[in-house]
Chain A
């Protein structure tokens, strides 16, 4: 028998790992003190956190919440926070100049918003998607008020167009493009000749009204959410269309999309907002009343759609050309292959960039304060101009920052959840 040969005769039983390899000690060793450099960095970071919190915690912990003005705060203890300003003005920070007796409307709109995005965010609830479709109209009615029928008739018109498209496409004409044109025509005709008439008639028959609230009364976090959420919802499909247009084989379509994207990306958002608030008035017929909030929403939407388009284009470019070929070889049409094969993958690749753009858009809504709309930042300046609160800085901006942080952090967390969920390879 050679010396190299060896056969195990006794099994070695499992035993517990040494104490340094388990639990907290192992974690500390591996993550915080794995080397000299690492240990020094750990100690430095701890010191840094300590400095930050050393002053902040007493400042925030002993804060005033109930005094009537910043003077009173200073008189009692000038070294702690004066959150009384939030106690006095939190409603304004949330609702702007919305009539106080109507606060329930934006509040309800907000909670319905949460309900309406659940079917979009979680596939489990997709059967409630009809509510997400219904929500925009409901929100417009709740926020601005007026007769419910003027909103309902818009839904009716769009539904009519959609139904006629479906019927023509599947039964009568069987050509998607002609059916689409005809359906658009029907919709336009409906809005031109029948819509306002039937809305008025229904309003007089079954009057369901909410008091009208004009856009200039909107403000605070309500305004940020209106502009932000609408911008996000509208810029996403627009961005997809622009990204596809940029890759199109049709030179004119391509030129328009590239021109649009490059123009928007080359111009600061503030400029666009000024255009929305001031310049547009010169071009519109005098006396026409083009809602300022709507104008801002349009500009913000166009702005982030251009960025969205570039993000999605990155995702499209990341797909192997074989995906296009395989779907073509199976006989799928261009739009089928975009919808079923290309976009799901391109969007999945682009999730981090898309959410980045969403977060950017949401924070950019604070720029509307420049054109004197009263978003939380605009309100903060306004409150500080009040003699009672003149001189207050941190307390207000911390509160505003925190509100934005909650939403942006939520979006970022959701995007990570989505990425994990959509992971199909391992």
Chain B
């Protein structure tokens, strides 16, 4: 499902990613760990084309990314199949929770407004927020916002989900409720790459743990190893 080979990227003369290779089979959860600045976010953002890279290549959900700039059409197709959840949630501030979830199905997949809303409500139900469908993001707690963000990404029925420290901006109680949702997804067989500092999660839900240090893979192994 995911193949990264010899990925290299420099930023201002610094090698942020240095010959990174990685495999992620269908239905597996890859945990990306490592110290701050080691290149975890950069690697994740390369996986859905938010960042370009200098050498190597990526195959993800059947799409191939090569070094250098990507064609917009390729990225749009790839991103339908690869969802992403951000540390800062990034919910659309002017839309309600349900509208946040329904926007992409309506605009990108061309669903009717009512079908898109139905899909949105289903997903909010799945993350336990059905009753907050019409709430604006600003009125939700951080944990609730992140669960809406997960529902929003799932609305495209992606084959791969990418998470960038989904719980780092949350206090422990809220982090737990978000982790619950992610663990649930893992059980359901969703292919995922999760950047995290939470070793507990890595042990509990990940199939493999990959540790980055200074842009290189320092350790790689089965969870719990």
Please say whether chains A and B are actual partners in one complex: no
Q: Which residues of A contact B (CB under 8 A)?
A: none
